[in-house]
Amino acid sequence: MKINVHLHTILQRQTPQGMLSQLEAELPPGSTVENLLQLLRIEISSDHLLLAVNGRVVVPEHPLQEDDQVNLMPALSGG
C-alpha cells in the first residue's frame, strides 16, 4: 500500500534519499506507523516524535491504510 509522508525539520535529512520533505512509501498491508519509521530509517525514538495520520495524533502502533497522509515531526520539549 502507498503512504504519503511529510517530513519536518531535522527529519528531512534522515531519509535514505537525502533532503526530502515529502515522499511516498510502499508498505505491506497491516503495517503500522512504527513500520514506516523503520522503513525510512528514522533514528529518533518514536517517544521523541509527534506522529500524525490524516491530521490526528497517533501512537506508533497505529495501523496504516492506503493513501494515508502521515506527518512526522520532532517533538518539542517545554524544558
Residue whose C-alpha is closest to residue 16's, from 36, 49, 42, 35: 42
pLDDT at position 78 is 47
This prediction has a pTM of: 0.86
> How does pLDDT run across 3-60, given as a tens digit for each residue?
999 998 888 865 576 677 899 999 999 999 999 999 998 888 888 999 999 999 999 9
The domains of the chain, with CATH numbers, are 2-74 (3.10.20.30)
Residue 56, sorted as left (phi over 0), alpha (psi -120 to 50) or beta, turns out to be beta
pLDDT at position 65 is 98
pLDDT at position 77 is 58
